[in-house]
Structure 1
Amino acid sequence: MKRILVYLATVVFFAVASGTDVAAQHSAALEEAKKAIAESNAIYFQSFAKGDSSIFINRYAEDACIMAPNSPALCGAAAPLQFFRLAYNDIGLRNGKFITQEVYGAGEGYVVEVGLWQSFNAKGELFDDGKFLVLWKKTTRGWKMYRDSFSSNRQH
């Protein structure tokens, strides 16, 4: 009987210890993702200010989908360049701002970011704002936007 109690105590100890390890690893991975997202968001709109699509393209996974309002989703390796050209040439986007409200884990290698955005034209005037939901994916090139969905708060 004593052996069984010692065995059960040992099993419980290692189960609790490994659970703490898993929680710590999950927390560390989430903090890593939050840091990468903040860094990516900090330079995202530089692509429009500088007219440099490569900065924009590098924010996205190769199999990303950009799901803009009132249009079909743009998916695949060419999607970021397509969207950049549309936003830069047709809409006149020249700068912007992301305001992250939440980032939470969505399974191994994925996190979700929820927030607000603002868009500015060449004169620095705010011309649109809204909300976004981005599913980020951990890739061999770091954390990249995998599914980018957003909508305006304005009636156009």
Structure 2
Amino acid sequence: MIFATVGNSAFDALIAAVDSVCGKHHYETFAQIGLGRYEPKVLHWRRFLAAGDMVRSIRTARLVVCHAGAGIVGEVMRAARPMLVVPRTGNQVRWRDQGNQAEFAQVLAREFGVTVVWDLQNLGSAIGEVLSRDPADIRYRLRETNVPMLVASYLQTF
């Protein structure tokens, strides 16, 4: 199963793109859509999940597609699940506290090999590429790096 999540706010462009790609390719997908206005046509979805349900969804997912929020990224890394990150940038940032996630996404790609999708037109090929990898190969090297310092450094930019 693919699990798509946008956190507590909204990221309609991401959910619409996942809905389109996963419908076209018949990927079993569940989405947590937050406060978004777009309601998926193909995906199974809920607006919000309890913390335990969120963790279970992450741990059982073949792939997690998410925004580049530090909270969700940390959960996916702890669960050692394949992840595809789509940062909120520019006009996708609707609430001040969301921030522009581009810099954090660059760190994730550089330091941890996380696949980042900068253009949602490329989402389908990125999902296919990540799904072709062996999930057993996922190693985020959390003990070799200082993730809390990376996150703290990123958050201080606001």
When normalised by structure 1's length, the TM-score is: 0.25
Q: Which one has a larger percent helix, Structure 1 or Structure 2?
A: 2
The structure number with the bigger radius of gyration is 1
When normalised by structure 2's length, the TM-score is: 0.24
